[in-house]
Amino acid sequence: MARALLDDVIDVYEARSEPRTEALPPTTARSPARPAGLRTSFWVGWLFVAPALLFYGLFVLRPLLYTFWYSLYRWDGIGPSTWVGLQNYSKVFTDPDLLKTIVHAFELIAFFSAIPVLLGLALASTIRQIATSRLALAARTVVFLPQVIPLVAAGIAWSWMLSSTGVVNQVLSHIGLDGITRAWLGDFSTALPAVGVIGAWVLLGLCTLLLLAGISKIDPALYEAARLDGAGPFREFVHITMPSLRQEIGVCVTVTVIAALASFDIVYISSQGGPGNATMVPGLEIYYQAFSERQVGVASALAVVLMVLVLACVLPIQWLTRDRDR
């Protein structure tokens, strides 16, 4: 059963292969410009796509265009609107409170991304040797739990743990670090890191498993050879493990960066952006601006900026870590 589970995970990679190039069937005369595909009418193909395109267009593309449109006006959602051009955008970049939300989003990347990826790498490469043991299989289920529960639930559980009478302070007191106990989510300097810790907890399991699956694909003979040459675990890691994991690391970083930049659930439930503005993130600020302050234009401008930022972060990562063997 152990092997089967591992095989499942390895299958993941086999499936991720390139589309096969088609050989032209000799019996059909085709114009060379015709794309390689089944001989079906143009319209039948589009009919098949139509429902998906309809939903996507109506509930994603249309609102997307409207977001751009709203961002050029000043509107409260109820009454008439006034054209303000790019004023909302300049507000996003000059208003210190709004600008800070973007800064916070990037700071969260350090927690949501760096910790799960780095720690995940360390854990995965250490656990590699016992990857098929029963303990590892049990761990696979347990470590996945944070991905299965709603982020809100994680936020509630951790808010309680990080409070002044919560588990975190209890543990700190037990190991003698009584002096630094505090209400982690209520303190200006520690609130954002505290939110970051929640995110790291949610994403660590996913990254570890993903990287572990990637490592399992590496030919053990390479490790054997390295051992015979006298390499220790560290050199093994740098010269064998890391290079082969480029794709998986890319995925981890992409998923976690998007989670950090677009974070909403966790912050909403744990700190509501406070204390003061210490944990306000763009996702939450958009919600407040649009539905509480009724500044739909500013909210939309911030939303556009957020989307651009996500693309600006994700595209380079994808490019850097794409499969070079293609």
Partner 1 sequence: MIVARREIWTARTLLVLLMAITVLPFVSLFTTALHQSGTYPLGLDWPSEPHWGNFADAFRAAHMGELLKSSLLIVAGVVPASLLIATMAGFAIGHLRMTGSRLLFLVFVIGLTLPFEGVVTPLYYQVRELGLLNTRWAIILPLIGLFMPFSVFWMRAHFVNMPDELSEAARVDGANTWQLFWRIHVPLATPAISSLAILLFLWTWNQFLLAIVLVDDPTKRTMAGALGAFQGQWGTDIPLLCAGSLLILTPTLVVFLIFQRRFVSALLQGSLKG
Partner 2 sequence: MLGRVRARWRIGALAAIVLGAFAAAGCGGPGGSASTTAATTSKATASAAPTCGKGPVTMKGYFETGFPITKALTSEFTKQYPNVKWDIREDQFAVITQNAPRVLADDPPDLMRLPQVSELVKDGLLKNLDAYAKAFGWDKWPASQLQQMRLGPGGRPRGEGSLYAMGLNFSMTGVFYNKKLAAKIGMTSPPTTLAELDDAMAKAKRAGILPIQQFNGGATGGLAFPLQDLMASYGSPAPINDWIFQKDGASIDTPTNVKATQHLQQWIKAGYFAKDVNAVEYAKMMSRFIAGQGLFMFNGDWESGNLDKKMPGKAGFFLMPPADADGKQAAMSAPLTFGIAAKAPHADCAAFFLNWVATNPKARDIAVQVGGSHPMGPADAHMPPVKEGSVTASTLEAGSKIGEDNGAMDFIANATGAIYAKSWTPQLQKLVAGQQSPDALLKSVQSDYENQVKS
Binding site for partner 2 (CB under 8 A): 31, 33-34, 42, 46, 57, 62, 65-66, 69-70, 73, 75-83, 163-164, 182-183, 185-188, 272, 274-277, 288, 291-294, 296
27's contact among partner 1, partner 2, none, with CB below 5 to 8 A by partner kind, is none
237's contact among partner 2, partner 1, none, with CB below 5 to 8 A by partner kind, is none
For partner 2, the closer of residues 65 and 242 by Cβ is 65
Judged by CB under 8 A, the number of residues near partner 1 is 121
| Site mask for partner 1 (CB under 8 A), range 188-207, x = bound | -------------x--xxx-
Tell me how far apart the alpha carbons of residues 317 and 326 are, in angstroms, rounded to a whole number.
Answer: 17
* Under rule CB under 8 A, residue 216 binds partner 1: no
* Under rule CB under 8 A, residue 175 binds partner 1: no
- Which tokens is 202 given? 């949610």
152's contact among partner 1, partner 2, none, with CB below 5 to 8 A by partner kind, is partner 1
Q: Which of residues 1-60 bind partner 1 (CB under 8 A)?
A: 5, 8-9, 11-13, 15-17, 19-20, 22, 25, 35-42, 44-46, 48-49, 51-53, 55-60
Number of other residues whose CB lies within 10 A of the CB of residue 310: 18
* Under rule CB under 8 A, residue 176 binds partner 1: no
Number of other residues whose CB lies within 10 A of the CB of residue 285: 28
| Paired sense of beta strands 73-74 and 82-83, if any | antiparallel
**For the purposes of burial, counting CB atoms within 10 Å of the CB of 44, is it exposed (0-12), middle (13-18) or buried (19 or more)?**
exposed
Element (H, E) at 73: strand 73-74
Tell me how far apart the alpha carbons of residues 261 and 310 are, in angstroms, rounded to a whole number.
Answer: 7
What letter does residue 78 receive in the DSSP assignment? S
Instruction: Say how many CA atoms lie within 13 Å of 22 toward its Cβ.
Output: 10
31's contact among partner 1, partner 2, none, with CB below 5 to 8 A by partner kind, is partner 2
148's contact among partner 1, partner 2, none, with CB below 5 to 8 A by partner kind, is partner 1
Collapsing DSSP to helix, strand or coil, 83 comes out as: strand
Q: How far is the CB of 34 from partner 2 (least distance, A)?
A: 5
Number of residues that make up the chain: 326
For partner 2, the closer of residues 45 and 150 by Cβ is 45
Cβ atoms of 301 and 92 within 8 Å: the answer is: yes
